[in-house]
Structures are given as C-alpha cells and as structure tokens.
Amino acid sequence: MTTHKQQNLADDRIGNSCDPESARARMEPDPSELVARLNSLGEIFRVQGEILAAGRPTVPALAAFLSGPPSVFPQPRVAAAECLGAFGGTAALAALLAAVERDHRSISDPVAALAEESVRNSAARQLARFHHPQVVPALLAALSADHLIGAGEALAVRGETAAIPPLIECLGDDAKRTLALDALRRFGSAGIPELTRALVTPHEVAGTETPSSIIRRACAADLLGELRAATALSALRAAAADAQQRVSIAAALALAEIAPAEAVAGPLLFGLDDADVVTQTACEAALQRPGSLVCSPPAGRWCSSRG
C-alpha cells in the first residue's frame, strides 16, 4: 500500500521530470566537457557545431582551452579560436589577443612551434571580426616582428595599409608567399609605391643579395604587372636589366603586361629556358604578342649572349 508521503514524493518526481527548465538543465552538456571534445580530431567539425549551438556559455571554456599548452596537433585550438571569433564579445576578444601575443619563442620542438604558429594565425584571422582599438596594433606587431601571416591577412581584410611593407617582406618566405600575395592583392593600387620600392631595394649579406630577397623582388614585379602599374614603368625598365635573372624576367613580363610597346625581349628569351614551366609559357606568350620586340635595346646583351 502506498502511503500519502510516498505518493507526494512520486508526484514531485513526476512534476520535476515535466518541468522544462529541469529537463533543459539535464540535456545541456557541461561547457568544459563539450569543449574538451575538440581534442577528438575525427569529430572536430561536429563538436564545433555543438559548441555554436550551445552558445555563449561556452566562451569561458573556449578561452581556457585556447590558452592551453602547445601541441603538435593545432586543429583543436584552431577550432576553439574559430568558435570564439564567431561568438564575439569582450571575453572572446581578450582570449584571441592573448593567443596572438603569446610568447612562443620558448617552444623547442620545431613541430610544436609550427603548430603553435597555426593556432596564432587562426586567432589573428578571427580578430579581423573585431573593431576594437587594441586589434590593429596587436596584429601589426605580430606581422612585423614574427611575419605572422594570419595577422597580415586580417589587416588586409580591414584595409590597413600599414601592413603592406611587412607583407612584402613575407614574399621571400616559401611557406607564406602565396598567402602574402593574396593579401597584397586586396590592397590594389594602394600597394604600388611600396612594391616599386621593394623591386629596386635588394637585401644583401656581405655584398651578395640573399635568395629570399631575389624572390621578394621578382614577386613585387609580378604584382606590379598584375596591377598594370604605369607609375612603376621606370623602375621596371631598370629591373629588366637587373643582374638577377629571375628579377629581370619578372620585370620584362610586367612591362609586356603594362606597356607592350616597351617590352624588353632579352629577358623574355632567357625565360624560354627557365626551369619553371609557368615562366616559360608566360614568356612565350609575351614574345608572340603582335609587335613584340624580338631583339632590340636594351636587350642587346641578352640576345648577343644567345648567339
């Protein structure tokens, strides 16, 4: 037989189970436990969706997770940075700034150091969403001091022209060149003065230009050609006679793009034998344009050397 007290307890249990707030509390996952599941690499995207669905209560856990120790696997903390960027707000901003400004120089493992750079890049890219006075100085500092390419991308999205010179320096880095080129393209004609300056300014060590400097100057010439930078014609004419063949070919191709009547054939002829198939094809196309100069000054020294 059920006593009156037992019946009341049963009624309480039934009532609580039907209470929407109680049911919701039981269904909602603990934010820290949810965020920790990002460590399961195979389900990161699904967990990100659950975090975004759970909303802003997960921000403190995401911030703590992002500030965790370096790892050779950057994906979990990259995902946390992306979630913080999506949520926005003061706490998310503080966590992302801390990640970008974090001292990474003590990481001795090169794999972990590279992974940490990926995390910092992700945090920097997310900062492009925030319009706060701390953001631009932090991104510029990271780009200038560390060549953090994610910071350069974020600054390009925001149209911060102060990022152009350090982005040009990134052109000499094989790992960052493609992203740096894309970021510089965002600035359009605003980048022409600094690109022109870079084209005519080699970086030398003991009187010899460094390989990264040669690549940087050639890339600057490429971009000037893409931008059809008529104001850079004088610098490009000089660069077409540069001692560094890679620079001279890039400058000649840019001249052919901007002012075909001033095309310099000599470097283009050398480009036909370049190891890079893309360069070969571009030089061939430039030489085949109607009215192209096959062998005229100031190309004489290149043409005569070919017999």
- The answer to whether residue 15 scores a pLDDT higher than 70 is no
- The answer to whether residue 303 scores a pLDDT higher than 50 is no
Any domain includes 282? no
Q: pLDDT confidence of 192, banded at 50, 70, 90?
A: very high
Structure tokens at 92: 């998310």
SS (H, E, C) the chain: CCCHHHHHHHHHHHHHHHCHHHHHHHHCCCHHHHHHHHHCHHHHHHHHHHHHHHCHHHHHHHHHHHCCCCCCCCHHHHHHHHHHHHHCCHHHHHHHHHHHHCCCCCCCCHHHHHHHHHHHHHHHHHHCCCCCCCHHHHHHHHHHHHCCHHHHHHHHHCCCHHHHHHHHHHHHCCCCHHHHHHHHHHHHHHHHHHHHHHHCCCCEECCEECHHHHHHHHHHHHHHHHCCCHHHHHHHHHHCCCCCHHHHHHHHHHHHHHCHHHCCHHHHHHHCCCCCHHHHHHHHHHHCCCCCCCCCCCCHHHHHHCC
Any domain includes 285? no
Any domain includes 170? no
pLDDT value for 62: 98
pLDDT value for 307: 44
Least confident of 6-10, 156-160, 166-170: 6-10
Least confident of 53-67, 210-224, 259-273: 259-273
Any domain includes 80? yes
Q: Determine what percent of the chain is predicted with pLDDT higher than 70.
A: 85
pLDDT tens figures, 20-54: 554 455 567 799 999 999 999 999 999 999 999 99
Tokens 């100057």 map to which residue?
Answer: 217
pLDDT tens figures, 143-156: 999 999 999 999 99
Give the number of domains in the chain.
Answer: 1
Any domain includes 5? no
* Range of the structural domain that residue 92 is part of: 26-133
- The answer to whether residue 141 scores a pLDDT higher than 80 is yes
- The answer to whether residue 295 scores a pLDDT higher than 90 is no
Comparison of pLDDT for 243 and 259, the residue scoring more = 243
- The answer to whether residue 128 scores a pLDDT higher than 90 is yes
Q: pLDDT confidence of 103, banded at 50, 70, 90?
A: confident
Q: What is the mean pLDDT of residues 96-108?
A: 90
Q: Determine what percent of the chain is predicted with pLDDT higher than 90.
A: 74
Comparison of pLDDT for 15 and 227, the residue scoring more = 227
Mean pLDDT, the chain, as a whole number? 88
Q: What predicted TM-score, i.e. pTM, was given to this entire model? A: 0.82
pLDDT tens figures, 49-82: 999 999 999 999 999 999 999 999 999 999 999 9
- The answer to whether residue 4 scores a pLDDT higher than 60 is no
- The answer to whether residue 121 scores a pLDDT higher than 90 is yes
- The answer to whether residue 259 scores a pLDDT higher than 80 is yes
pLDDT value for 202: 95
Q: pLDDT confidence of 8, banded at 50, 70, 90?
A: low
- The answer to whether residue 186 scores a pLDDT higher than 80 is yes
pLDDT value for 302: 45
pLDDT value for 262: 75
Cβ-based neighbour number of residue 76 at 10 Å = 22
